[in-house]
Structure 1
Amino acid sequence: MSFQSPHTLDTVITAARKHCAEDVIPNVDAWNRTAKWPRDTSTKAGAMGLTGLYAPVEFGGQGLPLSEGIRVYEELGRGDGAYAFALSMHNICTFAGCGYGTDAFKAEWARGLTSGTKLANFALSEPQSGSDPVNMYSRAVDNGNGTYTINGAKAWVSLAGEADIYFTVVKMTDAPGHKDMAMIAIPADAKGLSFGPLYETPSYNFLPMSEMYMKDVIVSADNIILPEGQGLQGSLMAIDIARVSIASGCCGLMQSALDTALAYSSNRKMFGGTNLDLDGIQWMLGEVATDLEASRLLYRAAAQALGTDEGPLMAAHAKRFVPDAALKAANTCTQVLGGMGLLQPYGLDRLSRLAQMLRIVDGTTEISRVVIGRHLQKRAKTLAPLPIPKGHGEA
């Protein structure tokens, strides 16, 4: 299938829905059994226009704004949240490379990334620093001849050993702080780049994740995506996009869990009717449905706010609320099926594990609470203090 103009949200959503129904849902269990990334499937996603969502049309992308393109992951999340997550990270890297990369980088990589024939991933976390990226050891040294030498290690690298290029955040000096941080794209075939053993994960074995090691890796200055001083700010923006994308994928997961519970409970005979005739079952699934509608509204509002002053806070709200709601939904729907909910063919155990994973990646729900809490502290300073009644609040 070749994706054609016009590059509208409706056509892209239709393509994502078709890709999920035909290529993801029927095959995800087999992917997990073989523990291998489905490269043919992600390449097909590219041919359907799903790997260059935010990239300019001139480079083969769809040219969608973030607020629209992010809705694709809700469709893909109905099939598998880990697959949706991996494609979301690729799209973020493609957006960065096509938007901020050098002309030489774009000439070499842009069309491969937007077409999905080349895969990209983002590398920020390190073994000793996840939520605190400023505590970073990876270093890039200017060789003075148009190249940089990079040493260090990254952790939780998705598509490890599978991606063709890794957008890697490094420090340029040993000075403390973030003012010397940059983002450099490291090709997978760079000498000195290697990967550790794959992490053992419970329900997304097909998504390779491991540590990434850089030993005297030499990269051209043409591969600098964000120059020194812009690395942290760009990384935080990427993380905000990722958080909203995860919330979008979680909505697809919730819809899948709800549909499974509805299909089962409307057919399961009990007490002279069906499970779905029981008030208790209706109330349980009704709460899931309300959480799903609230989650959709929240992630879409957060997507609209990306790139504005409210963007980080709205992304934190979405990442705090929606994955928690998805985990609750998966568990509730499992309960509705009773013992059957524990059986692998129904897929609810997989959805619960995926929801837990999505609560953690790209900033745990606790980190989102920190972001929200700091905003509340700032707001509190703008409010007139309320007097404490005499005799209260005193030791």
Structure 2
Amino acid sequence: MTTKLDQILDAARSHTDEVIKPNVDAWNEAGVWPRDASDKAGALGLTGLYAPEDFGGQGLPLGEGIRVYEELGKGDGAYAFALSMHNICTFAACGYGTDKLKDDWARDLTSGRKLANFALTEPQSGSDATNMYSRAVINEDGTWTINGAKAWVSLAGEADIYFTVVKTTDEPGHKDMAMIAIPKDTPGLSFGPRYETPSYNFLPLSEMYMDNVIVSEDNIILPVGQGLQGSLMAIDIARVSIASGCCGLMEAALDTALSYAKNRKMFKGSNLDLDGIQWMLGEVATELEASRLLYRAAANALGTPEGPLMAAHAKRFVPDCAVKAANTCTQVLGGMGLLKPYGMDRLSRLSQMLRIVDGTTEISRVVIGRSLKKRAEGLPDLPVPKGFGER
């Protein structure tokens, strides 16, 4: 029996094979977001994965929907990343937005007619989200006046609405943080020059500036006091989504290396007959299988007390494996791996990008380390051996 997940994964595979793979190099050459491609993704149901069916979404649980990015990642990790962030925002709009916001935006977002993105990071702060300068003043009529800047905003100037985290006082900490959606055409909202990126030029990334931006209270996603908690949940979903996309990237690298090695004649056989090549690619294959198991377990844990730690494990382990896989598979191709048509350079750079965004692997290690300290507190002290340390 074919399930909805099966249908969506089949649609993602078709989208990858028919739209992403044949065109990604041209997208990068043009340096423009392929809106026609994301429109096609929307028509296939890939832009409302977790949103309720009542709003035109697929209604998939996070643990199932996140698997889509593995399929899209076989075509391009940056494209998969952008759609994953859109889906997170769509999930937030349909689940936490006001009735007015849902009426105005939900179906346009689930269909992909409108794109959304998340704005948390600021120029002076990355993983330290509480070190935030963006401020919202709540006016007497209920509107919010917002000033500040965000950095590393993906789909900058291309998305139609930005789910933006702000503080509402000058007090330190996170108890005054909130999330509000700012439409692109809001007066006072602007974007800086696009960042120059090496292998994902089609994905616009830049800073976002808010100069006396006035937004209706109807656009509040998370009220004052819930902004950080909601943002951390969004980041956990993003981290697992990135791990999913990395698995697709690893498979793409592995298949390229296998396709090359099986036909490369050397020492009276093919490269793939050599033990050294088999061992190199065998290690990639094992780490790909382990990565799949880990990100899927993490996806199923989202929303539970174990979710943040599992997301950290996935974001720590899987992108590291992707970087290693891209480098190993490039090595298998030898000099040919340096040539643009084989795409290995693009995969290497993308793997490094995915290792950094939405929390570096070092930040994941911090999360894991804190959990280990808590675990240690609950363990009994080991006895000191008799005579140890005595003089």
TM-score normalized with structure 1 length: 0.97
| 2:22 counterpart SS class | coil
Tell me the C-alpha RMSD between the 2 structures: 1.2
| Distance of aligned partners of 1:393 and 1:61 in 2 relative to their CA distance in 1, 3 Å threshold | farther
Q: 1:216: Cα distance to partner?
A: 0.1
* Match status 1:254 vs 2:227: no
2:84 equivalent among 88, 102, 108: 88
Tell me the CA shift for residue 393 of structure 1: 7.0
Residue in structure 1 matched with residue 330 of structure 2 by the alignment: 334
Say yes or no: does 1:112 pair with 2:105. Answer: no
Instruction: Describe the SS at the equivalent of 1:41.
Output: helix
Aligned length, in residue pairs: 390
Question: CA shift at 1:387, angstroms?
Answer: 2.6
For residues 3 and 142 of structure 2, the distance between their equivalents in structure 1, rounded to whole angstroms, comes to 38
SS of the aligned residue for 1:61 comes to coil
After superposition, residues 1-395 of structure 1 pair within 5 angstroms as 8-389=4-385
- Residue identity matched to 1:116: G
TM-superposition CA deviations, 1:312-343 (whole Å, max 9, x none):
00000000000000000000000000000111
Q: Deviations 1:357-385 (Å, cap 9, x if unpaired)?
A: 00000000000000000000000001011
| CA distance 1:337–1:392, shift in 2 (3 Å) | farther
Deviations 1:272-302 (A, max 9, x none): 1100000000000000000000000000000
**1:236 & 1:393 partners in 2: Cα distance?**
46
| Mapped partners of 1:38, 1:326: distance in 2 | 25
Q: Deviations over 1:191-250 (max 9, x none)?
A: 000011100011000000000000000000000000001000000000000000000000
Distance 2:260 2:91 in 1: 41
Measure how far apart 1:176 and its partner are.
Answer: 1.0
**Is the Cα contact below 8 Å between 1:7 and 1:64 reproduced in 2?**
no
TM-superposed CA distance for 1:174, in Å, is 1.1
For the structure 1 residues 393 and 182, does the alpha-carbon distance in structure 2 shift closer, same or farther, using more than 3 Å as the test? farther
- Paired amino acid for 1:290: T
Q: CA deviation at 1:390?
A: 5.7
- The letter of the residue matching 1:130 is G
Distance 2:31 2:243 in 1: 25
What TM-score do the two structures reach when normalised by structure 2?
0.98
Cross-structure match for 1:3? none
Q: Which amino acid aligns with 2:75?
A: G
Poorly superposed stretches of 4+, deviation over 4 Å: 390-395
**Contact 1:7 / 1:62 at 8 angstroms: preserved in 2?**
no
